[in-house]
Amino acid sequence: MNRTDPTRAIRAIVTGSAGGIGSAIARGLAAHAQWLILVGRNEDALRALQRSLGANTHVVAGDLTQAATLDAIVQLARSLGGLNLLVNNAGVCDFHAFETQDPVAIRSLVDTNLVAPMLLSRAVLPLLQAAAPSQIINVGSLFGFIGYPGFSAYGASKAGLRAFTQALRRELADTGVDARHFVPRATRTGINSERVVALNRDLRTVEDSPEMVASQFQHFLAGRHWETKIGAKETFFAFVNSLLPAMPDRAIRAQLPVIRKHMPK
């Protein structure tokens, strides 16, 4: 895990481990881990993953937006001797027209995708500092770079996560704790509703498997960049969006009939 000492054993928390990307990341880390803490809401899925990974894995089942879940994670990590890697991967999505989107869903997106990783990072920061050099890796989204119809609230939460990561990285620059940002593109996981799957199919959006994303995560973990995006085309589009947003404006406007066909009203 550590870029100055590749043989150092990983002691990691992986949130969202019950889902596709999280479970694949956990599987990739397990071979190099002293221990893993698997976090998610689906205890049955977490226990199944735990059984497949072996005795060096532990489970915390709960809602990351609840203080009791954060406390349980911190207490377990402390009892295991501290940690050197936090992977904030848990997230939710709600593809919907913003004007009719349920306020409860909007709040859930922000709380789960942004506030929860911020509070968990804060809670375990003393443990990460004690084990430095160590890392916080926040799993973002291309929609945090490219505002996209139907994903206004989701994109806002992911853009906030990127800003948080960058600011925290700079704040911790002299501590030995490195905050980093890993950005998958569209991935075949349960986070996508049937409408999103159909939209991706109609737009011919490239979708990765969770295993491919986890493989890219391993390369990122061992590397030096503070941020990486998966996909050359997607990375270029995000770059153009930052410099010449009128060009993506036109391209996305042309897609609106297809997007609206699938977007819940």
pLDDT at 8: 65
Measured CA to CA, the distance from residue 134 to residue 177 in angstroms comes to 5
Domains of the chain by range and CATH? 10-262 (3.40.50.720)
Q: Look up the pTM and report it.
A: 0.94
DSSP alpha helix (H) spans, the chain: 20-30, 43-53, 67-79, 103-110, 116-130, 152-171, 194-203, 210-222, 232-243, 246-262
Tens-place pLDDT, residues 80-112: 999 999 999 999 999 999 999 999 999 999 999
pLDDT at 7: 45
pLDDT at 161: 98
**Nearest alpha carbon to residue 184 among 222, 226, 224, 215:** 215
Residues of the chain with pLDDT under 50: 1-7
pLDDT at 32: 87
pLDDT at 265: 81
pLDDT at 31: 87
pLDDT at 54: 86
Measured CA to CA, the distance from residue 114 to residue 156 in angstroms comes to 9
Judging by beta carbons within 10 Å of its beta carbon (0-12, 13-18, 19+), is residue 44 exposed, middle or buried? exposed
* Longest pairwise C-alpha distance within the chain: 55
Measured CA to CA, the distance from residue 202 to residue 40 in angstroms comes to 31
Q: Is 148 a catalytic residue?
A: no
Answer whether 144's CB lies under 8 Å from 162's CB.
yes
pLDDT at 52: 95
Tens-place pLDDT, residues 187-199: 999 889 999 999 9
pLDDT at 1: 43
Percent share of the chain, pLDDT over 90: 93
* Angle formed by the axes of helices 194-203 and 246-262, nearest 10°: 130
Candidates 35, 143, 151, 154; catalytic one? 154
Rg (CA), the chain: 18
**Tokens 């404006």 identify what position?**
249
